[in-house]
Amino acid sequence: MNQITLEKNDRREIFGWLTYDWANSAFFTTVVTVLAGPYITSLAQNDVGTSGVVLRLGPIGSITADNLFTSTLGVSIFLQIFLLPLLGSIADFTPLKKKMMAAFCYVGVLSSARLFFINGDSYLWGCLFLPIANICFAASNVFYNSFLVDITTEDRRDSTSSYGYAAGYLGGLIMLVLNLALINFGSSYGIDQGLAVRISMLAASLWWGLFAAVTFYLVAPGHPSGSKRVND
């Protein structure tokens, strides 16, 4: 089998890797952590009342407006329990992990961006797109994390991982601050709060997708068995 020699600790490649944390943390911070829950809950409550039934599950019980978001997020987390370990095993051996990471990333971006169109009584569509986006976010991170071994030597992994965490924290914080500013002051420009929330979720999705493109441009594809990088 042909040997593919790639250098570890390449600055461009490490920068590309760090950029993905900067990119996707905007989605998780703005959409999952702060905005989607209150927004979907408010739409459901306006439709069926504060504790009105959204979905009856027979003997299991009912999903109400006030627990709709937690139920939705719970489903996505439950599915991740089974999916992520499988993807972790695949990431260790497949030469296609860059393509798989990109696929999960952009399905997540598109699903998250669809939340912009959720309004009025269409909140159940939000309960479909949000779990898809959240699962894809987590799945892409599995492949993202697996690249750390490919691009760094062992003595650089802890520091590089820390820089990635810091980049994600900073990127998520900047996006959140900008979005909260829009939500709180958008009325001065004729943007009501509901529209401001939807714009904010769209902005976080675009941030994720656009900055992720830097990662996929700079980081080399995962190497198959039989190939190598120097400095191993």
pLDDT digits (tens, 9 = 90+) for 129-140: 999 999 999 999
What separation, in Å, do the N-terminal and C-terminal C-alpha atoms of the chain show? 19
Q: Are β-strands 228-230 and 5-7 bridged in parallel, bridged antiparallel, or unpaired?
A: parallel
Q: What is the pLDDT of residue 137?
A: 99
Torsional sign, CA 209, 214, 217, 220: negative
The whole-model pTM stands at 0.92
Which stretches of 1-153 are DSSP H helices?
A: 11-26, 36-48, 68-91, 97-113, 123-151
Band of residue 221 on the pLDDT scale cut at 50, 70, 90 = confident
Exposed/middle/buried for residue 83 (C-beta within 10 Å: 0-12, 13-18, 19+): middle
Using DSSP, state whether 189 is helix, strand or coil. helix
Band of residue 203 on the pLDDT scale cut at 50, 70, 90 = very high
**What phi and psi values does residue 223 have, to the nearest 5 degrees?**
-100, 140
Residue pair 171/22 in contact (Cβ under 8 Å)? The answer is yes
- Cα distance between residue 178 and residue 174, in whole Å: 6
Residue pair 157/145 in contact (Cβ under 8 Å)? The answer is no
* Cβ neighbour number for residue 205 with a 10 Å cutoff: 24
CA 44 to the chain's CA centroid: 24
* Cβ neighbour number for residue 85 with a 10 Å cutoff: 11
* Residue extents of the structural domains in the chain: 24-221
pLDDT digits (tens, 9 = 90+) for 67-121: 999 999 999 999 999 999 999 999 988 889 999 999 999 999 999 999 999 999 9
Residue 74 in tokens: 């719970």
**DSSP H or E stretch at residue 175:** helix 154-185
Q: Are β-strands 53-56 and 62-64 bridged in parallel, bridged antiparallel, or unpaired?
A: antiparallel
| CATH 1.20.1250.20 is right for the domain spanning 24-221 | yes
List b or e across 108-123, with b for residues whose CB sees 16 or more CB atoms inside 10 angstroms: bbebbbbbbebbeeeb
120 Cβ partners below 8 Å, 6+ apart? 43, 47
- Cα distance between residue 72 and residue 103, in whole Å: 23
- Cα distance between residue 150 and residue 229, in whole Å: 8
pLDDT digits (tens, 9 = 90+) for 146-193: 999 999 999 999 999 999 999 999 999 999 999 999 999 999 999 999
pLDDT digits (tens, 9 = 90+) for 34-74: 999 999 999 999 999 988 999 998 888 899 999 999 999 99
